[in-house]
Amino acid sequence: MQSETGTLRPQLAALLADEISGCTGCGVCVGECGFLKLYGSPRDIARSYDPDDPKKNVVCFECSLCGLCSAVCPSGVKPQALFLEMRREAIDRGFGSFREHKGLLGYERTGTSRRFSWYGLPEGCTTIFFPGCALPGTRPSVTVAVYERLKEAFPDLGLVLDCCTKPSHDLGREQYFSQMFGEMVAWLESHGIQRVLVACPNCYKVFTEYAPQFQTETVYERLAGIMPETTAEATSSPVAIHDPCVIRFASAPQEAARGLVSRSGRVIAEMSHTRTRTLCCGEGGTVGALAPDLADAWGELRVGEAAGRQVVTYCAGCANHLGKRLKVSHVLDLLFNASKPSSGPITYVNRLRLKSRFKRIVPAVISRERTVPGGGSGMLRPLLFLGVMIAAIVLVRASGAGQYLEPERLRALFSGFGIVAPLVYIAIYTVAPALMLPGLPLSMAGATVFGPVWGVVYTIIGATLGACAAFLIARYAARNWVERQLVGSRWNKLDSETAQNGWKAVAFTRLIPLFPFNLLNFAFGLTKISFPQYAVATFIFMLPGTIAFITFSSSLLGLLKGKVSWEFFVGIALIVAVSLIPRLVKWYRNRERREPRPEVPWSLRRSLQLKAIAAAALAVTAAACYGVVLKYFWALNAYLYTLEFNLLFVAHRLRDGDLAGFVEYLKPMSSARAAGIALVCQAMHTFAFPFSPLRTTAAFAAAFGTPTGLAYVGCAGLVVTGLSALLGRFCLGDLAPLHYRHRGLAPRTPPPAWAVWCAGAMAAIPGFPLLLCGLWIGGFRIQPGRSVAAITAGLVVRMLLSLAAY
């Protein structure tokens, strides 16, 4: 099956054909499902499907993927498989990324991150307990109790705190899901795991479908044979069982959960939709993000069927979602007399505390924290760093500690030690990698004490010697210990890459910090690379990153005092440049293997040509009009001379840094004139005096008060950026479609999130021309709402830094 932009996924084409031929349009599924009532039968949706239409691609994301349609279909058709494939097709075509899903995907990334994940395998372990994400966060004590109870049946029971990445699976992010879950499965297989005990029905679904090599069971099946018989009398009011829709066809967990509820002394009164015909709680398929009305409708159906009875489920996610509408208990709450479950941000704290507790109680001989790409914390670290820096600046200025943070004063203190100070610093840096000590604090201290030049010299010497020492230890002294630490697909790939490419593998890993620095030094000691190649490559390819970081770190003391130095901007520029080196190398390697780029349509080329001609004509016309005014209109000429005098006055004050004179010039001005001067200043920053935004912000705050002054400067910045964005949309607006067409991709709507973040970051850097920021926004066609939000946030940070500097 073909579309205008290419061939459909084979699985999708087959499912569309099956749906069109197999669905009879009987309406049984439509009568049960609110989604199908809205969009028609599965056959109707399959017939009207257009992969090139973004609106058609959104429809499949409003299905909860609960499988009720498959359960009631008399013809045996499985529409939920079709809708999942439609999601994957939408992702492939660039239509399936919605900002409403960012929260859930961020929650998933947190679960797979190094901070929250942990694998612990005792000696001889073949069975692991996999509690999932929701249960440890909402019920940490219950999670520990389940683990201890399962250990009675499995003395060598291991534990895995991680996320199965089912949210990405349900959102059609097939490649990411396969990478993350596949890496987990490969690690477990390589360590002899044969059985997985899961507490989450979603994890059960993922393991049974995508990891059939494991014997996957729910903890409820095991607890049914372990938990003692209760002597409690049956309660007077019956309870209803809510079966999670994701395992509607798994009878063993359903029977086990009912058996456990009965053992707790409760009488079960089944709802009309149960077992294979169970209803979605409203959270399935992330439908609530794009279609909250449909999600609410599913929840209200459950409320109606419960008829005031307490509901018991065995899915922590269902319990959380349905708990907003009715009284819901998890079956484990009944077994272990658990207190009220946690919710909100405290669940993250619970997971961190639980990880620490399991590290103490699990007798692990093999352990790891997940470090695969994709398990990061997104913007959390940059935002945390920015918050810490702003707090430190405020604290230093408020406490008066700035007088003790003069770099010259610290350097004079250490200069008294002569040659001993740098030798001690190099010696500490040499032994730090071997002792697994972090090098970041050492680098910052070296940059502060020795400055940007000698700090680079001493740091690169110490880091190279330390890397060589760890290399030699791994090769000749502690090979067995290092081999136990380096497990996983990443390290196996590093070994194979080093065998094939030699020093190039060292260069690549030094430029791209995908691997922990200290472990990386030991890892190369186990490879076949020669020591001279390793040492030379390490020195050369660590040097760019060292220069960038030391230059940036040398400005931190001044930043704490509220002074923005040239080292700060140069360091940021170098860090950005170093981070682009791997991308340039990758581009250079792949340039010959690229497929021929599609020809640019004549209409697009013509549009670019016309816009270039129009821009040139506009510039010539503006210059001609200015000349005519100067020559023939004396009144306007006089006015322009007056305006020119004011502009020159402002320009001189900005250039010379005469803050007091500028403040006196601003104080008697009216609001309209002050707003005009602010606009003029922001325009000047674009073409000259790149560091004058610091002085402008401070002058306006001093002349009109901080709130009013910041309002003048901020609004002027928004106006300049907005006008620049219009110019960028006119001149550069065709470049984004041209870029995607050259790469053979469909145009992305909306623009990528990183483009919006970059716009805000540009606006936040004092001295960065707002004209370039506006051209960036216009070139990427960023929507006005998103661009205004990003630029406003960036300007706020810029003005706060400017105030701190003065």
Give residue-wise pLDDT tens across range 648-703. 566 665 555 566 777 777 788 888 888 888 887 777 665 555 446 677 788 888 88
Instruction: Check whether residue 187 and residue 284 sit in a common domain.
Output: no
pLDDT at 105: 86
User: What's the whole-model pTM score?
Assistant: 0.55
pLDDT at 4: 45
pLDDT at 245: 92
The answer as to whether 384 is a domain residue is: no
The answer as to whether 759 is a domain residue is: yes
Closest CA to 538 of 640, 469, 453: 469
Instruction: Check whether residue 261 and residue 317 sit in a common domain.
Output: yes
pLDDT at 150: 94
pLDDT at 723: 85
Instruction: Check whether residue 648 and residue 751 sit in a common domain.
Output: yes
Domain boundary (97, 128, 147) is at 97
Q: Which long-range contacts does 191-194 make (Cβ < 8 Å, 24+ apart)?
A: 191/121, 191/125, 191/366, 191/487, 192/125, 192/126, 193/121, 193/125, 193/126, 193/127, 193/128, 193/158, 194/126, 194/127
pLDDT at 56: 75
pLDDT at 746: 52
- The CATH number of whichever domain residue 356 belongs to comes to 3.40.50
- Segments in the chain below pLDDT 50: 1-5, 231-232, 374-379, 404-405, 487-489, 593-595, 597, 634, 690-691
Q: Are 111 and 133 in contact (CB under 8 A)?
A: yes
Instruction: Check whether residue 137 and residue 221 sit in a common domain.
Output: yes
The answer as to whether 382 is a domain residue is: no
Instruction: Check whether residue 299 and residue 165 sit in a common domain.
Output: no
Helix and strand counts by DSSP (H, E) for the chain: 41, 11
pLDDT at 198: 96
Domain boundary (63, 97, 131) is at 97
pLDDT at 5: 43
Tokens found for residue 545:
């990153």
CA-to-CA distance for 604 and 608, rounded, in angstroms? 6
Instruction: Check whether residue 580 and residue 657 sit in a common domain.
Output: no
Domain boundary (322, 353, 368) is at 368
Q: Is 119 exposed, middle or buried (0-12, 13-18, 19+ CB in 10 A)?
A: buried
The answer as to whether 320 is a domain residue is: yes
Instruction: Check whether residue 74 and residue 140 sit in a common domain.
Output: no
The answer as to whether 103 is a domain residue is: no
Q: How many CA atoms lie within 13 A of 556 on its CB side?
A: 19
pLDDT at 159: 96
Instruction: Check whether residue 499 and residue 577 sit in a common domain.
Output: yes
Q: How far, in Å, are 117, 244, 329, 736 from residue 343 at the CA level?
A: 20, 20, 14, 42
State how many domains the chain has: 5
* Structural domain boundaries, residue 47: 2-97
